[in-house]
Structure 1
Amino acid sequence: MSTAAGSPRPRARNRRGEGGLLRAEILAVATALLDAGGDPRAVTLRAVARGVGIAAPSIYPHFLDQSAIVLAVVQQAFAELCEWLRSAVDAAGEDPRTRLHALCRAYLDFARTHPERYRLMFGGAWMPAADSGITPDQLAELGAGTLRLVADAMTACVDAGCCTSEDPDADAVALWVGLHGLAHQRAIATSFPWPADITERLAVPLSHLVA
């Protein structure tokens, strides 16, 4: 909202030491803009500033440019995905097989519940410029937490004797690719009559589960 065309709504100034609060507000508004429009180009400095209630230059101490904001949205989304998966696994009980199935369903639920964020996370539109200071290792770390959770769940199944995988880390990548493909197809083929147990049909062979 704004008080006049082109001017931000009034906002109380943060007290000294509360710059982190402003950064969090900028991220929240940027994420809301993405969720509403589905296009990272909607996350402009002017639109973010208007949503927060600040002048656009006030963003620069926290983010270098628009691409830095979008990258931060992606980083936050990956963190949210990891927390989403952990919560699902923790709520699934102690059986490793049940926990793995819960993780797979939660992954697909995240993609369905946050379609715009999910599309941006894996679409590549957020790739930072070469001079952004973001290293290839930092980019690779974005999805590492999710893969680690999948690999840990598969390893637990191996230890319990219900999984024949000889390389849980590699098979975790294969399972993620399968889940990602299903999430994508569900998003674009919404009228297709997907089997009710499609997640299990995908997860069982890709994770080498046995009875």
Structure 2
Amino acid sequence: MDAGTSRSRNRRGQGELLRQEIIDAALRMLNELGDDEALSLRAVAREVGIAATSVYIHFADRDELVFAALEQSTTNLLRDLGQAEDSAGDDPVRRLRARLLFLGTWVREYSGLYKVLHESTLNRRMHLVFKEELSTRATAAVQACMDAGLAPADDAAAVALDLRAAVHGAVSIRINEPEADLPPLADQIDRFLVKLVGLRIEHVF
């Protein structure tokens, strides 16, 4: 929204609606900036078309707003990851692969948010507790492959962590080195599934 555009005042009881508008604006701007420290509450207020004081009614400072925005982003990501897994049917290998492929697609669209979520100063200074669900579900997806006898029995949490590190490295290179000559991400993911999870090639493809 243009800084000079007037905004209709929310009716009584619509404070929560304004709070969501502020979060949505912060998400758009964080994705563009890729840096939580580059975000200012005044800039967010201009984007929404409200006075800066109205932002402070809902968020005490920038950290609180960024935390709320990343929590919203993670909630949406978890929902979409679940849908990607469900679209792959009941086979645990296909579900795990669909999960990882969707993450690659999500990162391409939300590279700025990805950087803030995993590489920001806020991430280093605060415990982003909502991120724990991502790890929990990743471990469950690996465990499902083991329970089905499609992957060697092992410490699913440790294997999921290795897989996460590999996938994050692969997508991070694509964000930070866009000119790098890299293979298709899907090919790398398939190799990670074989080498790190121990899936047989015929189960992956």
TM-score (norm: length of structure 2): 0.88
Is the partner of 1:126 in helix, strand or coil?
helix
Query: Quick check: 1:202 aligned with 2:192?
Result: yes
Give the AA of the match of 1:116: G
**How far 1:195 sits from its partner (Å)?**
2.7
Identity of aligned residues (%): 34
| Structure 1 gap ranges (5+) | 4-8, 130-135
Equivalenced residue count is 198
Q: How do 1:1-211 and structure 2 match up within 5 A? A: 1-3=2-4, 9-127=5-123, 139=127, 141-196=129-184, 197-210=187-200
| Structure 2 gap ranges (5+) | none
Is the partner of 1:14 in helix, strand or coil?
coil
Map Cα deviations across residues 48-69 of structure 1 (whole Å, 9 max, x no partner): 1111111111111210011211
**How far 1:12 sits from its partner (Å)?**
1.6
Give the AA of the match of 1:159: D
Map Cα deviations across residues 11-51 of structure 1 (whole Å, 9 max, x no partner): 22222222111111001111122222333234211111111
Please tell me the root mean square deviation across aligned C-alpha atoms, in Å: 1.9
- Higher mean C-alpha deviation, range 75-84 or range 34-43: 34-43
Deviation beyond 4 Å, 4+ runs, structure 1: none
- Which structure features the higher share of helix residues? 2
Rounded Cα–Cα distance in structure 1 between residues aligned with 2:83 and 2:194? 21
